[in-house]
C-alpha cells in the first residue's frame, strides 16, 4: 500500500504463525530504499516486485531495522541484485543461527509427514544469510534524490533496532520498536532494555508521525498513531512494574 507521499508498506509477509511481518520502501527520484526484506527470498521477491514497479529505473538500497531473521531473511536476494545492505553493526548472524531458525520452522509444521519431508525447504527456498555490509547509526541520512530518510536509534526490543524517518511525509518505519495488535515482544531483553525501549517510544512520540509502519500488524495512520504508541508504552511499563513479560511462557 502507499502510506503517504513516497512511502509504501508491504504488510502481512509470511512468518511463524500467528506472526506476519512488514517491510516497506521509500521511492526517491534516483534511489529506492527498501526497509527490511522479510523472512525469506520469496518475501524478498514480492518486496522487490513492488519496489521496482513504482520506480523501475531506480537503484535499490536496503536498510534493516534489526537483527531478527523476519527482518533480514531476504537480504541475500537483494545482495544478489547488487543492493548495498545497511544496518546496525551488531547485526552479525551466523549460519548456525540461521540453521536453527529453519529447524524451528520445520518443528512448527503441524503435519508429521510434512515435517519429515522438511517442507521448511519450500518456505525458505533460495534464502541465504546476508548480514548488512554497510554500518548504519543514529543521525545517518540516505539521500534518495528529492527526499531523504533519516536513521533514528530506537533500541529496546534488541540493541540493534533502528528506525527510518521520512520527515517530508512524516512517516516512520520503526520495525519492532512498535508492533500493532500483537503484544510487543519484550522477551529478548530485560529491565535495562525495557527502560531504553521506553525512551525509544518517547523519541518516536516527539517526532509526531502522521503514519507508522510497525514491524508487525497493520499500518497506523493519523488518529491510530497515538493509540499504537500508548499500547506499546503500557506493555513496557507493565513489564517494568512486574519485572516480567506476559509472553515468556
Ligand atoms: Zn519482527
- For residue 249, pLDDT beyond 80: no
What is the Å distance from ligand 1's center to 19 Cα? 8
Q: Enter the pTM of the model.
A: 0.96
Query: Residue 44 to residues 9, 22, 33, 53, 103: CA-CA distances in angstroms?
Result: 13, 11, 13, 14, 20
CB atoms within 5 A of ion ligand 1 belong to: 70, 176, 215
pLDDT one-digit tens code per residue, 136-180: 999 999 999 999 999 999 999 999 999 999 999 999 999 999 999
Superfamily of segment(s) 2-242 = Ribonuclease Z/Hydroxyacylglutathione hydrolase-like (3.60.15.10)
Contact 71, 37 (CB under 8 A): yes
What is the Å distance from ligand 1's center to 12 Cα? 12
pLDDT one-digit tens code per residue, 167-226: 999 999 999 999 999 999 999 999 999 999 999 999 999 999 999 999 999 999 999 999
Query: Grid coordinates standing for 205?
Result: 512520540
What is the Å distance from ligand 1's center to 185 Cα? 8
Q: How far apart are CA 154 and CA 163, in angstroms?
A: 6
Q: How far apart are CA 238 and CA 200, in angstroms?
A: 16
Phi, psi of 192 (to 5 degrees): -60, -40
Cell numbers 513516497 correspond to 6
What pLDDT was estimated at residue 156?
Answer: 97
Contact partners, residue 243, CB within 8 Å, separation at least 6? 191
What is the Å distance from ligand 1's center to 54 Cα? 25
Give domain limits for the chain. 2-242
- For residue 248, pLDDT beyond 90: no
What is the Å distance from ligand 1's center to 175 Cα? 7
pLDDT one-digit tens code per residue, 95-104: 999 999 999 9
Would you call 211 helix, strand, or coil by DSSP?
Answer: strand
* Cα 243–chain centre separation: 26
What angle separates helix 191-207 from helix 224-242, to the nearest 10 degrees?
A: 160
pLDDT one-digit tens code per residue, 39-66: 999 999 999 999 999 999 999 999 999 9
Give me the mean pLDDT over the 60-83 stretch.
98
Amino acid at each position: 500500500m502507499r502510506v503517504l507521499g513516497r512511502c509504501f508498506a508491504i504488510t502481512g509477509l509470511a512468518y511463524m504463525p500467528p506472526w506476519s511481518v512488514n517491510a516497506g520502501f521509500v521511492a526517491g527520484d534516483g534511489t529506492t530504499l527498501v526497509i527490511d526484506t522479510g523472512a525469506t527470498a520469496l518475501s524478498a521477491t514480492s518486496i522487490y516486485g513492488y519496489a521496482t514497479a513504482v520506480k523501475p529505473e531506480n537503484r535499490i538500497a536496503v536498510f534493516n531495522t534489526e537483527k531478527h531473521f523476519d527482518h533480514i531473511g531476504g537480504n541475500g536476494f537483494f545482495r544478489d541484485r547488487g543492493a548495498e545492505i545497511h544496518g546496525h553493526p551488531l547485526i552479525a548472524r551466523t549460519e548456525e543461527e540461521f540453521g536453527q531458525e529453519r529447524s524451528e520452522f520445520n518443528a512448527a509444521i503441524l503435519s508429521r509427514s510434512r515435517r519429515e519431508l522438511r517442507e521448511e525447504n519450500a518456505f525458505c527456498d533460495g534464502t541465504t544469510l546476508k548480514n548488512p555490509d554497510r554500518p548504519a547509526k543514529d543521525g545517518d541520512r540516505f539521500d534518495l534524490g528529492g527526499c531523504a530518510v533519516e536513521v533514528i536509534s530506537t533500541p529496546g526490543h534488541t540493541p540493534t533496532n533502528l528506525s527510518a524517518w521520512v520527515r517530508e511525509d512524516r512517516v516512520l518505519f520503526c520495525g519492532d520498536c512498535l508492533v500493532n495488535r500483537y503484544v510487543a515482544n519484550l522477551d529478548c531483553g530485560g529491565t535495562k532494555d525495557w527502560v531504553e525501549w521506553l525512551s525509544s517510544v518517547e523519541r518516536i512520540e516527539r517526532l509526531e508521525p502522521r503514519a507508522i509502519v510497525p514491524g508487525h500488524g497493520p499500518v497506523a495512520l493519523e488518529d491510530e498513531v497515538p493509540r499504537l504508541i500508548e499500547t506499546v508504552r503500557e506493555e513496557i511499563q507493565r513489564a517494568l512494574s512486574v519485572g516480567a513479560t506476559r509472553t515468556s511462557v
